[in-house]
Chains A and B, each alone.
Chain A
Amino acid sequence: MEDQEIIELYLQRSEKAIEASQCKYGAFCLHIAKNILTVPEDAEECVNDTWHTAWNRIPPVIPNSLKAFLGKLIRDISLSRYRENHAKKRYSGMEVMLDELGDCIPSEFDVEQELERQHTSDMINEWLSGLSQESRILFVKRYYYGDAVKTLAKEFGFTENQMAQKMMRLRNNLKSFLVKKGVAI
Chain B
Amino acid sequence: MKKEDLYHGISGISEKYLNEADNYRPQRKRHWKRWVSIAACLCLVVAAAVITPTLLGKHTGSPFVLTAYALGNEDSIITNEMIENKSIPVSLFETPSGIKGFVFSYDKITGDEAATVTIVSGNKALSENPGLDEILLLSEMESGKHYFYYIPDSADTTPYQISFFISDPAAGMVYRYDITIDETAGGHIATLSKTISDKLRSEEEYSFDVFAEFEITEGEDGNKEAELESLIGFPDQE
Contacts and interface: CB of A to CB of B under 8 A. Distances in A.
Interface of A: 28, 65, 67-68, 71-72, 75-76, 79, 116-118, 120-125, 128, 130, 132-137, 140-141, 143-145, 154-157, 159, 162, 178, 183-185
A159 B205 CA distance: 9
B71 interface: no
Contacts of A154: 205
B20 interface: yes
B5 interface: yes
3 closest A-B pairs by beta carbon, nearest first, are A121-B12, A120-B9, A157-B207
B206 A79 contact: no
Contacts of A155: 26, 207
B5 A116 contact: yes
Contacts of B207: 155-157
Contact of B5 (A117, A144, A159): A117
Given A132-B156, A133-B153, A157-B205, A140 B4 contact: no
Given A144-B21, A162-B198, 14 more contacts: A67-B19, A68-B18, A71-B18, A79-B4, A117-B8, A117-B9, A120-B8, A121-B13, A124-B9, A133-B20, A140-B17, A144-B18, A145-B21, A184-B1
Nearest to A136: B17
Contact of B9 (A28, A123, A145, A162): A123
B21 A68 contact: no
Interface in B193-209: 196, 198, 201, 205-209
Contact of A132 (B6, B14, B161): B161
A68 B153 CA distance: 26
B179 to A, nearest CB: 13
Interface residues of B, number: 38
B10 A124 contact: yes
Contacts of B73: none
Interface of B: 1, 4-15, 17-22, 24, 26-27, 122, 153, 155-157, 160-161, 176, 196, 198, 201, 205-209
Contacts of B208: 157
A125 B13 contact: yes
Given A132-B160, A140-B18, A159-B198, A124 B13 contact: yes
Given A145-B21, A157-B205, A125 B14 contact: yes
B6 to A, nearest CB: 7
B72 to A, nearest CB: 29
A135 B207 CA distance: 15
Contacts of B13: 68, 71, 121, 124-125, 128, 140, 144
Contact of B161 (A68, A135, A141): A135
B24 to A, nearest CB: 5
Contacts of B18: 67-68, 71, 140, 144
Contacts of B10: 75, 121, 124, 143-144
